[in-house]
Copies of this chain bind each other. A is one copy, B any other.
Amino acid sequence: MKPKLDDVAKLANVSKTTVSRVLNKRGYLSQETIDKVNDAMEKLNYQPNTVARQLFNKKTQLIGLIFPTVTNPFFGELVEELEKRLYSQGYKVIIGNSMNDPDKEKNYLDQLLSNQVDGLIVGTHNSDIHQYKNENLPIVAIDRIMNQDIPIIESDNYQGGQLATQRLIDKGAKNIIHTAGPKSLNTPAQRRRKAYEDTMVANNLQPICYTVDFNIPYKDKIEIFNRMFEEQPNMEGIFASNDLDAALIMQIAKKFNKRIPEDIQLIGYDGTQIMRNILPELTTVVQPIEEIAIKAIEVLNERLENNKTLDEYILPVYIWEGSTC
């Protein structure tokens, strides 16, 4: 008689659900449990059938999107693109704004692991979340390094940093400041800072970074930029880590009677549609939001079908030529 799922469960001393999870690589499982189940299947020469495979693979047609906040135009436009495209493939999206809240992120991840959503696209991460380390989960990260098992979709941050810094130098600026996210955050965006530093050094210029955490309140950002203008009276160029910060720098420059671009050349980052509409004069590095969304969904689909994916997908950026640099 052919061995059944039940027999595997009994021999491995686990529930049928657990066996099914091992078969389908779904849910959080310890390596010990996985090994036990695999051993039992081998001993019994168990051949999983499609029904068993699908037993707990019930599709919800829901994809979870976890991003810091849709009020940041980059994430807002990305979420919009993802939703539009996933919808046309028959999915609906659950959106979680996880800003400053690792518990919330964990909660959404639990939802994936308990099969309440089919997959996740994540633009935020808390490195303490151990479940991410499970293999082959249908998760895709955007611009965030999670671990070696989760593929990352990102725009070419090094190229962006290089393009921005070189443009400032080409326009004649020498004292160039970069306002960057905290170094402690392990994100591909750190490569912008690296590219800035490399390009400055290659041009015999001194790199100076001001750290501005994306998450801090607006008034704290104002304080940092005020201090920067006070401490750097001779600065001739600023490479801002995002367009919202660049817009704020434009406000503060007025207060300090610094003209842009005559006194200070300014270049931003992200280049969302809304910022290009509201502040078309801001020169900025444009991240290809549509292409990022397309690639993220493509890779997620591969993951959902248990196909192999690359570790990293890097998409090119370009410069929006405004009048601030």
Contact = CB atoms under 8 A, between A and B. Distances in A.
Interface of A: 62, 69-71, 73, 76-77, 79-80, 83-84, 87, 92-97, 104, 108, 111, 218, 244, 247-248, 251, 273-275, 277-280
A87 B104 contact: yes
Q: Looking at A97, A248, A273, A275, which has the most chain B CB atoms within 10 Å of its CB? A: A97
A77 B94 CA distance: 17
Contact of A94 (B62, B69, B244, B278): B62
Q: How many copies does the complex hold?
A: 2
Given A244-B277, A277-B244, A79 B87 contact: no
A53 to B, nearest CB: 25
Contact of A79 (B70, B84, B94): B70
A90 to B, nearest CB: 10
A251 B280 contact: yes
Q: Which 4 A-B pairs have the closest CB atoms?
A: A247-B278, A95-B95, A70-B70, A76-B76
A60 to B, nearest CB: 9
B87 A96 contact: yes
Q: Looking at A62, A71, A83, A97, which has the most chain B CB atoms within 10 Å of its CB? A: A71
Contact of A277 (B84, B97, B247, B280): B247
B104 A96 contact: no
Given A97-B83, A280-B251, A274 B71 contact: yes
Given A92-B111, A111-B92, A279-B278, A80 B87 contact: no
A89 to B, nearest CB: 13
Contacts of A251: 280
Q: Looking at A76, A77, A84, A96, which has the most chain B CB atoms within 10 Å of its CB? A: A76
A111 B87 CA distance: 13
A95 B92 CA distance: 8
A71 B62 contact: no
A95 B96 contact: no
A94 B96 CA distance: 9
Given A247-B277, A247-B278, A84 B71 contact: no
Contact of A96 (B83, B108, B244, B280): B83
Contacts of A94: 62, 92-95
A69 B79 CA distance: 10
A162 to B, nearest CB: 27
A97 B80 contact: yes
Given A87-B104, A94-B94, A96-B87, A244 B71 contact: no
Contacts of A247: 277-278
A292 to B, nearest CB: 15
Given A76-B71, A248-B277, A278-B278, A92 B96 contact: yes
